[in-house]
Chains A and B, each alone.
Chain A
Amino acid sequence: MSDLAPAIEVENLVKTYAGVAAVNQVSFTVQRGEILGFLGPNGAGKSTTMRILTGFLPATSGTVRLCGIPVATQTDQVKRLIGYMPENNPLPEDMRVSEYLYYRGRLKEIGRRKLRTRLDEVLELCDLKRVRHRVIGKLSKGFRQRVGIAEAILAEPPVIIMDEPTIGLDPHQILIVRDLISSLRGRMTVIISSHILPEIEMTCDRVLIINQGRVVATGTPSELRREILGHSLYRLEIAGDLSGLNNVFTAIEPTLKISDKSEPDVFGFTTLQLATERDEPLGEELLRALTSDSRYRVRALARVHPTLEDVFLAATKRTWDLVDSGNIGH
């Protein structure tokens, strides 16, 4: 294993099922110790990509290397480098938690003595000590999910791949899982896929958005905001004669435009959405200009932070448009 190689390198990965491309020319690189969030609508090819990374599924074409080792030719070695938690987290129903983890540890080639101490560590880390002697089939969803995570990190592999680790958990459990994943930062490379966007935003260093089997955007959450949405948004609640407002805006910043406008409420205040291509904060200037002008009464002004959700929707919409116009597709 080369120490210099990135944890995961994917180049031009293609996977077709019966002629339909599930993954189409996907390329990305994940550095060591990085946490990558994998986003995409259902059927985008997230699970397929992850399965190929684990060596469970063979790719149709393209190369995948984990820590410099090609997955296609040295699958056995690669399997020693990963901890994998599949979608829906399948677990045997009739085993006890500690029994299951012990068995998995043995399969992952951990020595008996080391496994005992490691088992205690992992149970502690995932807060499973209370249920270690319970039968898995009788555990609640939150515990089952944590058993899956415990299993993935058991052998302390350099790369951890988790397909929707927080699906079906309550907010408290999500918090625990998020802390757990964050605690791996720097030590292990983690790829998680999720639908829960705030989740990804809080835990991941970098986000990869995939749609129709293609990577549509990649970068840190803030980079993506800039790249995909391309503007900053402000929300303004204002009353008065709004017809001359555009001139005021143009004087402050030429690209500042009203992008959305609501009906006046009972107090006569209208809520406006302003968009600008400029990234620096404009709030102070805006407020000064508007309050000094006797025509307007301002009740509130705030910069709107677009959520990853907006980015995600914009990015996936962009690919749909491309698909519709025939630029990409099969």
Chain B
Amino acid sequence: MRHFFTILSHEIRMLLVNPSTYIAGVLFLLVMGMSFTWLLERYNEAPQETSPANLFFLFFWVPVLFMVPLLTMKSISEERRLGTLETLLTTPVTTGEVVLGKFGAAYFLYITLWASTGGFFWMLRKFSHDARFFDVGPLIGGYLFVAISGLFFIAIGIFASSLSRNQAVAGILSFGVLFALILGVNFVQPMEFLNNAALHPAKVAIEYMQVFRHLNDFTQGIVDTRQVLYYLSGTVLALIFSILSVEAKLLHS
């Protein structure tokens, strides 16, 4: 693991000198800022039952679906397309270190972008002049959810990137997988055929995978280890598959 930090700092550096990172960042803040404004307007019109943070984090899937593919699609596919993967892997570096370094850098950026939305709440607190309007609990829960689920989502993006040398294919692939995972599962759950007794295990599994329910639990302060385990095991699996995919492509290149 001695090369992990070399690769990580290199990758973060490359992301920070890349203009597309800043464009993505600005777009992200624009979308999140607009939804936050819309949310404040709703609170302005009528009293609401939940804290603003609860409502704010319900929009988490919008940036996830667009930001994660944008941040990760380049990582491995670009190296393979340029051929720099060959020079990289002929130094004393393992495939695992390369994949983890790229994963770490993309996750760092993802978290940094999300952390910047904390500024919205800081402004809200500053101008509301009353700490009672401001509930810290759901906020912490929401960010915790973003941090933990982000691991899995970024790992999926890295895996998609390891599958193709074409960035666009990798991007669309990770978009598709994330869409199925976040919205698709939500869409399938109420379907009638799942009530069939034979499909009971599938129904349980789909309930277990409800990302929106996880979010709801986190923002209510319930940190369920089963849900944490779901994201962590998913992350590990996706990263292992990425390493295998990079190595398998070398064997059959």
Contacts and interface: CB of A to CB of B under 8 A. Distances in A.
Nearest to A135: B17
B84 interface: yes
Contacts of A223: none
A107 B3 contact: yes
Interface-centre pick from B7, B87, B89, B94 (highest chain A CB count, 10 A): B87
Given A56-B89, A82-B90, A107 B6 contact: yes
Interface in A95-130: 95, 103-104, 106-109
Contacts of A76: 92, 94
Contacts of B93: 79, 107
A90 B17 contact: no
A92 B84 contact: yes
Nearest to A86: B86
B123 interface: no
Nearest to B82: A90
Interface in A130-185: 151
Contact of A56 (B6, B17, B86): B86
B196 interface: no
A93 interface: yes
Interface in B82-104: 82-84, 86-94
Interface in B106-149: none
Contacts of B10: 103
Contact of A106 (B6, B17, B83): B6
A54 interface: yes
A54 B250 contact: no
A103 B6 contact: yes
A271 B83 CA distance: 51
Interface in B1-39: 2-3, 6-7, 10, 14, 17-18
A80 B91 CA distance: 7
Contact of B82 (A57, A92, A103, A107): A92
Contacts of A55: 90
Which of A54, A93, A94, A106 has the largest count of B CB atoms less than 10 A from its CB? A106
Contacts of B18: 94
The contact size tier of chain B is 20 to 34
B48 interface: no
Given A57-B250, A57-B253, A94-B17, A107 B92 contact: yes
A88 interface: yes
Contacts of A79: 90-93
Contacts, number: 60
B169 to A, nearest CB: 20
A264 interface: no
Contacts of B251: 57-58
A162 to B, nearest CB: 12
Chain A interface bracket (under 10, 10 to 19, 20 to 34, 35 or more): 20 to 34
A38 interface: no
A70 to B, nearest CB: 16
B253 A90 contact: no
B91 to A, nearest CB: 4
Contacts of B250: 56-57
Interface in A200-258: none
Nearest to A53: B90
Contact of B87 (A80, A90, A94, A109): A90
Contacts of B86: 51, 56, 86, 90
A312 interface: no
Contacts of A90: 82-84, 86-87
Nearest to A17: B252
Contacts of A51: 86
A99 to B, nearest CB: 8
A151 B92 contact: no
Given A57-B250, A103-B6, A107-B92, A151 B14 contact: no
Contacts of B89: 56
A128 B182 CA distance: 51
B225 to A, nearest CB: 37
Give the one of A93, A94, A104, A107 with max B CB within 10 A: A107
B94 to A, nearest CB: 8
Given A57-B253, A94-B18, A107 B84 contact: no
Given A92-B84, A106-B6, A108-B92, 14 more contacts: A55-B90, A56-B86, A57-B250, A76-B92, A79-B93, A80-B92, A86-B86, A90-B83, A90-B87, A94-B14, A103-B6, A103-B10, A108-B91, A151-B87
20 contacts: A56-B86, A56-B90, A57-B250, A57-B251, A76-B92, A79-B92, A79-B93, A82-B90, A84-B87, A85-B87, A90-B82, A90-B86, A93-B82, A94-B14, A94-B17, A104-B91, A106-B3, A107-B7, A107-B88, A107-B91
Interface of B: 2-3, 6-7, 10, 14, 17-18, 82-84, 86-94, 250-251, 253
